[in-house]
Amino acid sequence: MSGEVNRRQALAIVGLGAVGTIVGGVGTGCAFWPSGAVSAPTGEGFREPQSLTSSSGALSVTLRAAPGATLMGRQTQALGYNG
């Protein structure tokens, strides 16, 4: 074997890589979102965040990160900023 890859072999390698990527992505998605785990949230809707405005072209704000952000009615491991 000369170590060179012909067109057919290259296409086969690319195809297998694409299939592997898709299968891995689907498998990962199923692990994080098992069947029936994601449902429509009920109750509280989105609320409008506090409006921050600049003065003379500069925005002065202090961001405070805190754990426990809620997403789609579920508690997450994400950080929320300023409430």
Residue that wins the pLDDT comparison between 37 and 63: 63
What number is the average pLDDT over the span 4-13? 85
Sign of the CA dihedral with 39 first, then 43, 44, and 46 last? positive
Q: Could you identify the residue written with the tokens 């409430």?
A: 83
- The answer, yes or no, to whether residue 21 has pLDDT greater than 70, is yes
Kindly report the pTM of this predicted structure. Answer: 0.31
- Output 15 or 83, whichever has higher pLDDT: 15
Residue 75, H or E segment: strand 74-75
